[in-house]
Structure 1
């Protein structure tokens, strides 16, 4: 069975991908993860005893460590999930995003280029470097603008999206300059099991269950395209198998929903799944001051990946949201594990002061 090095595999999307890869026997996995605040090693407890899974704590910026892993495990591919990904954090402290998303990606590319250059010709031809990115690199859309396509000019509006745009350009350059066989995916907002509860959907679920305010930025009319994480994992697998070298593929859920609608749907489902007598969870909704540079609308055109690789999302927003809410209701132990002191400090700094901040939408 092939071996793939997955970076950032203990985060939300990376962990879901590893769990699916091992469950479906796609390949053996070596997981390199720094275990920052948003990583939870317990998410991968199901593969802890799996001989086809190996965990290594480390940083993609550590070239010596990456080289040692590549030399030891001889992977046929590297999938780079490793990234700082929270917009609000990037506004408050952008330096970590520059370090990980730009410099980290650069050093990972350098290590992979050297490894790839020393492979035998047949293995060189089969090697892939797949970079996982975001739709936020394209900027903001007006209400009637066409959805983002792969050819849409980059126009990032936050330190986070600017750092991811930079990493995308670096990955592209290593293909065109050095011939490194790269692929890139740009996905819309993911949601589903194991998502760290600073993001919109899990935070709203948990706040509602605890009777806490459900803070919504501005007028709540910011629109995002929501993609169920397992659908995203299937798309990544297909791109890795059959994607054209040097190409990028947009991956979207075809679910454009306003932030207010997202929260209202969560409240409606909680009223059914976890009812409280004479209480409507929607009564907790609170509108708060908008965040700086808040993009108004994202929308992904997934025509290319549908046409070339036959991928289409299997979950509607309604079905995926129901699964997600039920998962959080069923896994209180996991929730307690991620609610560490560092997480609580972040919440207090950014969300607890009186009506001055809100839950992120990406």
Structure 2
């Protein structure tokens, strides 16, 4: 199989590329990434010389992109602006990449008869007080990020219905694990705790999310890639949920640090209280999450302890410091 992976230098994308090349040594991968602030070539340094791997620095919005995509079976679209906090003060780039970029890729798939897999998020459903959303639940996004992803999902379905492009949409819960950019909640809590810095927690800290270890999500995408039914949406979740404040406490406990490092900060606008999704559909394909949260979190903490050089270069950059100042003011 020949696969185009967009956004493959980001967190989930880089983990997926490594997973696929290890599991399917004969598969060929073209990784297309613009290398924005969250794209990092170091994430794939261990496989960059693999003869079945190619990298192309390119923006998915560029119209000449189709010239580089010939004789491929599928595009898996990880490319996206994905941080809710940034979407609040910089929404325009989310609309461009997440909507217009997805549209450009769909046009290429239509023209060249290529299958398309859209990597989406559970955030498109919005908040739910009780129970869990299913794949056919209404979309109710609360911020520019989730609105842009919901728009991309609808575009993707429209290309299936109108042009018969073979598509799938994968909506996963929050991922965590190695190589996650340290603006995201779990790596920010871990790296701040390692350096004895304050752990900023929005509002009362009782916002609830479901969490899945990134390799479990990679396995889910793999199964949908090989067994997914065209035109279908698949929720992906560990179905384990926990309030943000409890994660912060678990990290501090593991590192032997005081809970005095927790600092409650002003809540962000439009903050969804609780996410929860059912994933019975993908379970019927033979998938289920394997990684216990406690073990996955411990593995992730140890990875950040062992890879300080990787994240410190990011966290001490002027752009990252500026972002934190805007976000947790």
TM-score, with length taken from structure 2: 0.97
**Number of residue equivalences:** 327
Which shifted more, 76-85 or 16-25?
Answer: 16-25
Aligned residue for 1:348, secondary structure, equals helix
Q: Distance in 1 between matches of 2:42 and 2:270?
A: 35
Larger Rg: 1
Aligned residue for 2:46, secondary structure, equals helix
Partner of 2:327: 350
Alignment deviations for residues 111-132 of structure 1 (CA, whole Å, 9 cap, x no partner): 121111xxxxxxxxxx521110
Q: For residues 266-345 of structure 1, what are the structure 2 equivalents within 5 Å? A: 266-271=251-256, 280-307=257-284, 309-339=285-315, 340-345=317-322
Where does the alignment leave 5 or more consecutive residues of structure 1 unmatched?
117-126, 272-279, 357-362
Contact kept in structure 2, 1:270 and 1:281, CA below 8 Å: no
Distance 1:41 1:337, change over 3 A: farther
Alignment deviations for residues 217-250 of structure 1 (CA, whole Å, 9 cap, x no partner): 1111100000100000000000010001000000
Please tell me whether residue 177 in structure 1 is matched to residue 174 in structure 2.
no
Tell me the C-alpha RMSD between the 2 structures. Answer: 1.1
Give the C-alpha shift of residue 146 in structure 1.
1.4
Q: Distance in 2 between matches of 1:77 and 1:171?
A: 14
Aligned residue for 1:79, secondary structure, equals strand
Give the C-alpha shift of residue 7 in structure 1.
0.4
Q: Distance in 2 between matches of 1:331 and 1:23?
A: 22
Partner of 1:115: 112
Q: Distance in 1 between matches of 2:216 and 2:135?
A: 19
Partner of 1:198: 183
Q: Distance in 2 between matches of 1:342 and 1:56?
A: 24
Aligned residue for 1:46, secondary structure, equals coil
Alignment deviations for residues 341-361 of structure 1 (CA, whole Å, 9 cap, x no partner): 32222223333xxxx4xxxxx
Give the C-alpha shift of residue 336 in structure 1.
2.7
Alignment deviations for residues 16-69 of structure 1 (CA, whole Å, 9 cap, x no partner): 1011111222621100001000111101001111101000000111121x2112
Alignment deviations for residues 238-293 of structure 1 (CA, whole Å, 9 cap, x no partner): 0010001000000001110000111011111111xxxxxxxx33110111111101
Q: For residues 110-259 of structure 1, what are the structure 2 equivalents within 5 Å? A: 110-116=107-113, 127-142=114-129, 145-259=130-244
Q: Distance in 2 between matches of 1:61 and 1:213?
A: 38
Contact kept in structure 2, 1:83 and 1:97, CA below 8 Å: yes
Alignment deviations for residues 301-340 of structure 1 (CA, whole Å, 9 cap, x no partner): 1111002x11000101111101100100011121133333
Q: Distance in 2 between matches of 1:300 and 1:326?
A: 29
Distance 1:288 1:348, change over 3 A: closer
Contact kept in structure 2, 1:221 and 1:258, CA below 8 Å: yes
Q: Distance in 2 between matches of 1:341 and 1:39?
A: 17
TM-score, with length taken from structure 1: 0.88
Contact kept in structure 1, 2:190 and 2:251, CA below 8 Å: yes
Alignment deviations for residues 161-194 of structure 1 (CA, whole Å, 9 cap, x no partner): 0000000000000000000000110000000000
Q: For residues 24-39 of structure 1, what are the structure 2 equivalents within 5 Å? A: 24-25=23-24, 27-39=27-39
Contact kept in structure 1, 2:109 and 2:115, CA below 8 Å: no
Q: Distance in 2 between matches of 1:23 and 1:88?
A: 34
Where does the alignment leave 5 or more consecutive residues of structure 2 unmatched?
none
Q: Distance in 2 between matches of 1:218 and 1:335?
A: 26
Aligned residue for 1:147, secondary structure, equals coil
Q: Distance in 1 between matches of 2:247 and 2:72?
A: 40
